[in-house]
Amino acid sequence: MIPDNNSATEPHPLFPSGEWEGFYTYSWSKQQHLMVFFLDFRNGIVTGSGADDVAPFDWRGVYDTKDLLCNMVKYYATHIVRYNGYVDENGIWGTWHIGAEWSGGFHLWPKSGTEAEQAADSVSEQLAVKPVTVLV
């Protein structure tokens, strides 16, 4: 998906545009189904594309930096899946639904090496406390 260059990407640190990864589970199983994808956050709209063990897909949805919510629809060639999630420092968590029959949970997070994670690592290094040796 080509980002819209007419507006800046979202500055909020919990909504970094770039490569993401994550998994989904079915309500009847704990097995994690992995996915990798790109997300672009701009002006309350999120778009993206990726792939998982079902097929390639596109994302479209909305996000809220005040209430820390993200609602997206995953578009496959054959069907859609609705994702409703909460956002925190660990990514986006929530539930997905296909109609009333199918559902499960999910967790999505920025992939290692994104600009946001590199910036967070830089801050962590600056704030790191040197280990203290305790003599017993």
User: What domains are defined for the chain?
Assistant: 18-127 (2.40.128.120)
The reported pLDDT for the residue numbered 2 is 46
Q: What is the pTM of this model?
A: 0.77
Q: Across the 136 residues of the chain, what is the mean pLDDT of every consecutive 10-residue run?
A: 65 98 97 98 98 97 98 98 98 96 97 54 37 37
pLDDT digits (tens, 9 = 90+) for 97-117: 999 999 999 999 999 864 444
pLDDT at residue 29, as a whole number? 95
Q: 46, 11, 3, 40: which is closest to 119 by C-alpha? A: 11
Token pair 């596109």 is found at 58
